[in-house]
Amino acid sequence: MKLAKHPRRRRVLALSLAVSGLAVGLTAMAASEIDADQQTALALVQKFAGQLKPRLKAAISADGPAHAVAVCATEAPQIAESLSAESGWVIRRVSSRNRNPAAVPDEWETAMLKQFEDKLAAGADPSSLSQGEVTPDGYRFAKAQVVEPLCLMCHGQTIAADVSAALASYYPNDMATGYELGQIRGIFSLIKPR
């Protein structure tokens, strides 16, 4: 096919190349935006954990692990609410074995929990378990919340009597005990609405 003799074909080819270039450019822009959203989501998770962990440690140091239950019950939701208002994202923690009745996972979060459990069982590094994607609700991001030594006092298999009493007081339908170090006990779930 000689393009010189077929000007219409040259225009069609040029238009096709331009459209292809535009599609590649748009895909690169979308990927860049997703990367930026993922970095923002990770920063918000780190900020959440960075505010909650020191408060829990301080409560444990001052008054013991039972006091940490009160801190987690009151201050964790406040941190999530504050970061959500500040960022415009919806930030929450959910678990299939939830402690807080408001922490029941939706369908997408349930799928993320299952995916992370499968990856962990296959030998994945727990700290690498995160996933972000564009959904009809907006950009969604999940990061596994892995059981650390600090968590075991209130989420482990052996819990002190005063901690059990505090849990029963704040969370009468608690399902978030019996965990071992390194297990996934939930996810940080974030949505950047459309």
pLDDT in tens, 66-101: 999 999 999 999 999 999 999 999 999 999 999 999
What is the spatial distance between Cα 136 and Cα 126, in angstroms, rounded to a whole number?
A: 28
Contact of 139 with 177, CB cutoff 8 Å = no
pLDDT at 3 over 90: no
User: What's the whole-number mean pLDDT along residues 3-7?
Assistant: 53
Residue 1 in domain? no
Q: What's the number of domains the chain is made of?
A: 1
pLDDT at 28 over 50: no
Domain that residue 177 falls in? 7-193
Residue 155 in domain? yes
User: What's the whole-number mean pLDDT along residues 111-118?
Assistant: 97
At residue 19, the pLDDT reads 39
CB atoms near residue 91 (< 10 Å): 23
Residue 167 in domain? yes
Residue 156 in domain? yes
CA angle 157–158–159, rounded 5-degree value? 115
CB atoms near residue 110 (< 10 Å): 14
Residue 171 in domain? yes
Beta bridge partners, 138, equal 135, 193
At residue 54, the pLDDT reads 95
Give percent above pLDDT 70 in the chain: 82
Q: Taken in order 170, 165, 106, 139, is the CA torsion positive or negative?
A: positive
At residue 194, the pLDDT reads 86
Residue 103 in domain? yes
Residue 2 in domain? no
What is the spatial distance between Cα 71 and Cα 52, in angstroms, rounded to a whole number?
A: 9
Residue 98 in domain? yes
